[in-house]
Structure formats: C-alpha cells, structure tokens
Amino acid sequence: MTDEKLALHDVTLVAKNVSELRAFYEALGLPVRFGNERLVVFGLGANDLAIHVADDVPRGAVGLSVLVDDVHSVADRLTAAGIAFDRHDEPFHANLAGLQLKDPNGNVVQILSRR
C-alpha cells in the first residue's frame, strides 16, 4: 500500500430512519449527490458522507467535522431550522473555531472554520 495514493472516499453512517438524518444534514447545507429511502450520499468536496438504512444502529459512535468558509451562515441556517448547537468562538479543535451539535443518532458534528 505504500506505493499507492490513498484518499478517503467516504464516511458512512447507518440509521433506522435515513430520511431523518437526511433532513438534518441538508439543514447543515450539505449537497445531496444521490438519495432514496434506503441511502443518501452527500458531497463533501472530493469525498462523500453516506447514510444507509440498518436495523442495528449504534448511537453516538461517530464524530464528524466539516470545514466551511462561513460558519456564521451555517449557524443562521441551523437557527432557522430549529436545530440546537453550541457556539465556540475561540479555537477548540485543531485551532479551528465553530459549532458543535449532535445529529438525531447522537453523533457529534462539528462545523469548523479558520478564523
């Protein structure tokens, strides 16, 4: 593997209710690349965030950080959608500041930006 170019293709979350998580991540502003009732794939630059249906779903097992240019517009969108979040105006994650919240499955989501 050391001679091969490695890159992250996607992060996959499993959910009993794909539509619920789809609505949450759409409220964050992630663009949908593909979606149906069993699978939705969001674009994150060159990579994907996939959510697919599963009967056995661990809660709060994943932490996801998304880097954005304008964290304030995301905060406005979350407020308009009625999604609670904590604001961190001082750097708290790898010298990045931003927002922290939980998705409907209890996964920690950080929306981060460079100052």
Model confidence over 18-35: pLDDT tens digits? 999 999 999 999 999 999
Nearest of 29, 60, 54 to residue 42 by alpha carbon:
29
Model confidence over 36-57: pLDDT tens digits? 999 999 998 889 999 999 988 8
- Asked if the model's pLDDT at residue 1 lies above 60, the reply is no
* Architecture, CATH, for domain 10-113: Roll (3.10)
Please answer whether residues 51 and 14 qualify as being in contact, where contact means their C-beta atoms are separated by less than 8 angstroms.
Answer: yes
Residues with Cβ < 8 Å from 47, sequence gap 6 or more? 7, 8, 9, 10, 11
Distance CA 39, CA 45 (A): 19
Q: For strand 10-15 and strand 39-44, is the pairing parallel, antiparallel, or unpaired?
A: unpaired
Please answer whether residues 41 and 78 qualify as being in contact, where contact means their C-beta atoms are separated by less than 8 angstroms.
Answer: no
- Asked if the model's pLDDT at residue 8 lies above 80, the reply is no
Please give the pLDDT value at position 3: 63
- Asked if the model's pLDDT at residue 108 lies above 60, the reply is yes
Amino acid at 98: G
Q: Global pTM?
A: 0.84
